[in-house]
Amino acid sequence: MIDYAMTHNTTFAEMMIREEMDLKGISRDEVRALMKQNLDVMREALEKGLSGEGVKSVTSYTGQDAVKLDRYNEHYHALSGHDMVEALKGAISTNEVNAAMGIICATPTAGSSGTIPGILFKLEKTHGLTQAQMIDFLFAAALCGKIIANNASVAGAIGGCQAEVGSASAIAAAAAVEIFGGTPEESGHAMALAISNLLGLVCDPVAGLVEIPCVMRNAIGSGNGLISADLALAGIQSRIPVDEVIEAMDRVGRNLPASLRETGLGGLAGTPTGEAIKKKIFGQTSVES
């Protein structure tokens, strides 16, 4: 993919657009209009989670934290910086809407749906991205996501959370590098760095629900994506090639025990508090009895 983009002097976004045109037999404008629908859903979800007092999940164990973070960013000098918190609150907001059974764009999954919007709408606010650039961002991320999905996995049940939030942060990092003038090789380094930073991250949803710790992990994913993009744009390279990093993620994920792959049995889900939350929501289970 990187070699093709460099040889043909094209971008990841353009490659994905052309593929969609060929696959669906529709025009460029129609393909871009379809992607704009995804962008609109992302924006609506992010804004919903930040409106009023925010949203709460059915269980009430998650929700309204995006609003807290928004207020914090207005009144305090955030330790990680005002701009970074913009990304974090967008990521949390989107995933809180998901946990509240709202409409989100699963990019690449529902559990990781806040990572890309957190980064994308932060960059719109702080760096003035146009709508056309935001749509190109999503096409570039889509092509990178396709590579990961076809050569590893984006499913927590197969590869742990590294395959969900890790992949989301990686493809967002690659897309950000492209939109801000980086080379295809630099986008590859951003992907590799982002995956490497979250390599081995387990999927351990408390009570099997996409709430704890999923919501907050999307905030970490957004931060990781932005950091990885900055590293690559600064000329910093991953010493392990991106293809090998993706392969390593796949091997690590498949070697994780089943208890750490979305079953809600190990990790945080298996703590005394995690088990107590599960009992409170679902009552005594057959496994526990």
> Are the CB atoms for 94 and 104 separated by under 8 Å?
yes
Residue 287 is predicted with a pLDDT of 46
Q: Any alpha helices (H) in 8-100, and if so which ranges? A: 12-24, 28-50, 65-75, 82-99
Q: What is the pLDDT of residues 92-116, one digit of tens each?
A: 999 999 999 999 999 999 999 999 9
Residue 18 is predicted with a pLDDT of 98
Whole-angstrom distance, CA of residue 118 vs CA of residue 270: 29
Confidence (pTM): 0.96
Cβ atoms < 10 Å from Cβ of 80: 10
Residue 277 is predicted with a pLDDT of 97
Task: Give the pLDDT of the chain (289 residues) as one tens digit per residue.
Answer: 999 999 999 999 999 999 999 999 999 999 999 999 999 999 999 999 999 999 999 999 999 999 999 999 999 999 999 999 999 999 999 999 999 999 999 999 999 999 999 999 999 999 999 999 999 999 999 999 999 999 999 999 999 999 999 999 999 999 999 999 999 999 999 999 999 999 999 999 999 999 999 999 999 999 999 999 999 999 999 999 999 999 999 999 999 999 999 999 999 999 999 999 999 999 975 444 3
Whole-angstrom distance, CA of residue 266 vs CA of residue 268: 6
Angle at 131 between CA 224 and CA 70, to 5 degrees: 50
Residue 13 is predicted with a pLDDT of 98
Residue 284 is predicted with a pLDDT of 72
Which positions ≥6 away from 113 have C-beta within 8 Å?
45, 94, 95, 98, 104, 105, 106, 107, 168, 218
